[in-house]
Amino acid sequence: MNFPKIADNVWKLGVTDWDRRLFDALIPLPDGTSYNSYLVRGTEKTALLDTVDTALPDRLLEQLDGVESIDFIIAHHAEQDHSGALEAVMAKYPSAEILCSNKCKPMLQDHLGIDGARIRSVQDGETVSLGDKTLEFIATPWVHWPETMCTWLPEDRVLFSCDFFGSHLATSGAWADDPARVYEAAKRYYAEIMMPFRPSVRANIAKINTRDIAVIAPSHGPCYRDPQFIIKSYQDWISDTPKNEVVLPYISMHGSTRKMVDHLVSALSQRGITVYQFDLSVTDIGKLAIALVDAATVVIGTPTLHMGPHPLVFYAAHLANVLRPKVKYASVIGSYGWATKVVEHITPLIPNLKVELLPPVLCKGLPKEPDFAALDSLAASIAERHANLL
Ligand code: FEO
């Protein structure tokens, strides 16, 4: 077969979606993405693991032109970017059996209208034989839906992980051979998709990491022939200890809040703290999500608009709340025209963030010496709390 071979009689199929720039009508994809499908051929039977996005079934069907029979189609996850072409593949192989987790079966029926009579649920640890190859199913719930599972191919030590360890990254090659590029894409993917489920991610890493994995083959982005690269990266990201970093998303309408941001960034930098500053009117929210993975503190900079924060601050605060980063401290800075209730509006937006709220710094109009002094005090408070962080 004329497809990248990731192990003996195991091929990477699927679609590299170079030009897609938005996922879920929400997530920016600066580097495109891929929907990976894997063909595993044993001496007796053949399996296809995951399909492709709903919009692209024909691309996968073309790839399967030379494949006479498929006995099993493994659906690791019901979401449409992997199971969207399931019905088309089922039609091409009418005797193929669909294997998925207990929770996935009704989801395939609900979300994709798949005929339940063709689907068999498999248990955690259950195996099917392809002859000289075995597929073992590993329940890995909540990475990132409740029904998600992985497949382990012990003879070749390949872990097919679906979204888990994936990256939205279009590449011409099958392998993650450019670590810096893959690291950023995988961290972005983790931040946007997996971070809200850190306890489940931790439990599932412990579960899969007992195996002697040679290859991790996710269903987005390139495959890892150095599995510990991505496993260790995940272990770092899920750790409960944040880093000596501040994330500062802000908006400025007339420049006053911007002056405060500039001063605070400088004051924090002088104290040895790494700062990530984002102008919310132009920022890529994926970059903001990446910065939130490790930060110990978030400081929101906002002007006052109709007594509350700028609408883009509502959006960013809600996003941070649902992503549940491990931040420990938060504060608000900004300028107002004549009165403000920005703190009262922002605080209820972030109930999931178990943070200590540091005294806000709010000033009327242009910031003046006492306001800059208050920003210096805020920087000192943050530095004190970060004292033991790396
Ligand atoms: Fe890539 Fe959750 O689908």
Query: Residue 98 Cα, ligand 1 centroid: separation in angstroms?
Result: 18
CA 131, 132, 138, 143 torsion-angle sign: negative
Q: Amino acid letter at 208?
A: I
pLDDT of residue 1: 77
Tell me the pTM. 0.97
Closest residue to atom 3 of ligand 1, CA basis: 79
- Taking CB atoms within 8 Å and a gap of at least 24, the contacts of 57-62 are 57/84, 57/85, 57/87, 57/88, 57/89, 58/88, 59/15, 60/13, 60/14, 60/15, 60/85, 60/88, 60/89, 61/85, 61/88, 61/89, 61/92
The CA-atom distances, in angstroms, between 357 and each of 9, 173, 273, 361, 382 are 56, 47, 18, 12, 11
How many residues are there in the chain? 390
Ligand 1 touching residue 20 (CB < 6 A): no
Distance, CA 79 to ligand 1 centroid (Å)? Answer: 6
Classify domain 246-382 by CATH architecture.
Answer: 3-Layer(aba) Sandwich (3.40)
State residue 370 phi and psi, 5-degree precision. -60, -30
Supply the DSSP symbol for 148: -
Ligand 1, atom 2, residue with closest C-alpha: 79
Ligand 1 centre and the CA of 163: distance in Å?
5
Could you read off the pLDDT of 238-287 as tens digits, one per residue?
999 999 999 999 999 999 999 999 999 999 999 999 999 999 999 999 99
| Domain coordinates in residue numbering, the chain | 5-238, 246-382
Q: Which atom of ligand 1 is nearest to the CA of 35?
A: 1
| Under-70 pLDDT residues of the chain | none
Alpha-carbon distances, residue 121 vs 44, 103, 145, 158, 223 (angstroms) = 22, 8, 16, 22, 27
What residue owns the CA closest to ligand 1's atom 1? 163
Alpha-carbon Rg for the chain in angstroms:
24
- Superfamily of domain 5-238, CATH level 4: Ribonuclease Z/Hydroxyacylglutathione hydrolase-like (3.60.15.10)
Q: Is the CB of 168 under 6 A from ligand 1?
A: no
C-alpha of residue 191 to centroid of ligand 1, in Å: 14
Ligand 1 site, residue 79, Cβ cutoff 6 A = yes
57-74: string of b/e by CB count within 10 Å (b at 16+)?
bebbbebbeebeebbbbb
Nearest to 135 by CA among 169, 107, 158, 106: 158
Which residue carries 């208050």 as its tokens? 374
Q: Give the residue from 356, 335, 327 showing the smallest Cα distance to 247.
A: 327
pLDDT digits (tens, 9 = 90+) for 50-104: 999 999 999 999 999 999 999 999 999 999 999 999 999 999 999 999 999 999 9
Phi and psi of 309, rounded to 5°? Answer: -70, 165
**Residue 2: per-residue pLDDT:** 86
CA 78 / ligand 1 centre spacing (Å): 8
User: With a 6 A CB cut-off, is 81 part of the ligand 1 pocket?
Assistant: yes
Give the Å distance between the CA of 247 and the centre of ligand 1. Answer: 27
